[in-house]
Amino acid sequence: MLIRQLQLEGFRRFDAAQLSPLPGFNLVTGDNGSGKTTLLEALHLLAHARSFRGRVRDGLIRQGSEALQVYVEWEDAQGATHRAGLRHTGSAWQARLDGQDVAQLGQLCAALAVVTFEPGSHALVEGSGEVRRRYLDWGMFHVEQRFLPLWRRYARALKQRNSLLRQGGGPALEAWEYELAQAGEALTDLRDAYIEGLRPHLQDMLPRMLPAAESIELGLHPGWRRQEMSLADALLLARERDQALGHTTVGPHRADLRFTLQALPGRAGLSRGQAKQLALALLMAQAAHLAECRGEWPVLQLDDLGSELDRQHQRRVLEMLAETGAQVLVTGTERPSGWPVDVIPAAVFHVEHAQVLGPLPLEE
Ligand SMILES: Nc1ncnc2c1ncn2[C@@H]1O[C@H](COP(=O)(O)OP(=O)(O)OP(=O)(O)O)[C@@H](O)[C@H]1O
Ligand SMILES: [Mg+2]
């Protein structure tokens, strides 16, 4: 996947700006507050239907503008050109993909694969289970066709069960529980298989990102005590409590990714820097797995790499990224200090006065 052009309008401090990255490494420099992260945020918004810095209505739209717009042009592995655009007012959106109106933002997400590592990414390790479920689901959405229809079935049944619970039960409850259990078990099988596929990539990434961990065990906490009972039994057992609470407390919507590091303490015992390194290993493993399944790398975005990782780690990360051959966007107030001499950026851009300059001539 190769981004040829990114255009933003009414997005944070940008009235109108554009960036035309090259294949390989693209470095975006600029002072604090110049808008570097915003460029990555815009591409991420199109590809994930959400920002990593809050909701559209909470400040993404430029002050004084009615809506933000993002437009992207990219090339797929076969060399075909695609175009996507999104206009968002904070409460309503319109989108187009290859000249057609888009009915669901998921269509843009399916078309554009972008993996972003940013200063908040440690939440993948330290944050709530929801962050890790979103990570798992994003990966599965891109590599497993059966995932989306199953997930929709599950979500629908969950909604029905919750609303019946709040109404005090009723004859339809059992039928919806049956549906929930069927879809939930199948979804969990897919998640298990996905983690199986992810595992070797994570083992491969870990020594470069977090060597101190030595090795990692990755597993799924399915959201109920699966080793002891079926989801149908777990739902039955939880029914009284769920009725009192008004929502379903067991099932894949409560799943979590588990990891155990051989030579380091659990999640809570990691330093912030180690949590970031582990988060980066998880994201890069996911990207590598996607590349293996789909035959093309997602676009990799690394925000503020220089301030996130120490020199040695930066160096290893940059070397690893160069090996992948993926298109990479890296931001920093300056060229990252650990930039290896053999990893030469294909293009450097500079953000200044709400404009993007570049590609600029490369300095020695
Ligand atoms: N809704 C908005 N309208 C106008 N300006 C905004 C809006 N939201 C954010 N900004 C401005 O846009 C800029 C955000 O820039 P961004 O976070 O992308 O900068 P950055 O180059 O990544 O900075 P840093 O180096 O500090 O990470 C800030 O100057 C901020 O004040
Ligand atoms: Mg920034």
Same domain, 276 and 318: no
Residue 61 DSSP one-character state: B
**Is the CB of residue 6 less than 8 Å from the CB of residue 18?**
yes
Give yes or no: residues 132 and 107 share one domain.
Answer: no
- Domains held by the chain: number: 2
**Ligand 1-lining residues (CB < 6 angstroms):** 12-13, 30, 32-38, 59, 61-63, 304, 333
Q: Output the domain CATH number for residue 177.
A: 1.20.1050.90
What is the distance in A from the centroid of ligand 1 to the CA of 9?
14
Distance 330 CA to ligand 2 centre (A): 11
Query: In this structure, are 279 and 265 located in the same domain?
Result: yes
Rounded to whole angstroms, the Cα distance separating 33 from 311 reads 23
Whether residue 130 sits in one domain with residue 31: no
Domain that holds residue 30: 1-113+298-364
Please list, residue by residue across 191-207, b when 16 or more beta carbons sit within 10 angstroms of its beta carbon and e when fewer do: beebbebbbebbeebbe
Ligand 1 atom closest to residue 333's alpha carbon, by position in its atom list: 25
3-state secondary structure of 298: coil
Alpha-carbon distance of 191 to 188, in angstroms, equals 5
Q: Write the residue with the smallest CA distance to atom 15 of ligand 1.
A: 35
Residues with CB under 5 A from ligand 2 (ion): 37
Eight-class DSSP state of 252: G
Q: Tell me what percent of the chain is helix, strand and coil, each rounded to the nearest 5.
A: 45, 25, 30
| Cα distances (angstroms) measured from residue 244 to each of 161, 164, 251 | 13, 12, 17
Say whether both 49 and 9 belong to one domain: yes
- The residue with tokens 């990252």 is 336
Last residue of a domain, one of 253, 270, 297: 297
Assess if residue 119 is contained within a domain: no
Nearest residue (CA) to ligand 1, atom 18: 35
Q: What is the distance in A from the centroid of ligand 2 to the CA of 29?
A: 10
Closest atom of ligand 1 to 304 CA is: 27
Instruction: Identify whether residues 136 and 97 lie together within a single domain.
Output: no
Same domain, 215 and 351: no
Whether residue 262 sits in one domain with residue 328: no
Same domain for 174 and 243?
Answer: yes
Per-residue pLDDT of the chain (364 residues; tens, 9 = 90+): 999 999 999 999 999 999 999 999 999 999 999 999 999 999 999 999 999 999 999 999 999 999 999 999 999 999 999 999 999 999 999 999 999 999 999 999 999 999 999 999 999 999 999 999 999 999 999 999 999 999 999 999 999 999 999 998 888 999 999 999 999 999 999 999 999 999 999 999 999 999 888 889 999 999 999 999 999 999 999 999 999 999 999 999 999 999 999 888 887 789 999 999 999 999 999 999 999 999 999 999 999 988 878 888 888 898 899 899 999 999 998 876 666 666 778 899 999 999 999 898 776 5
Residues 194 and 134 in one domain: yes
Residue 118 is assigned to a structural domain of this protein: no
Ligand 1 center to 359 CA (angstroms): 21
Ligand located closest to 58 CA: 1
Whether residue 342 sits in one domain with residue 241:
no
Q: Give the distance (Å) from ligand 2 centre to CA of residue 37.
A: 4
List Cα–Cα distances, 87 to 71, 176, 179, 277, 309, in angstroms.
9, 37, 37, 34, 34
Strand partners, 283: none
Query: Is the domain of 29 the same as that of 18?
Result: yes
For the CA of 35, the closest atom of ligand 1 is 18
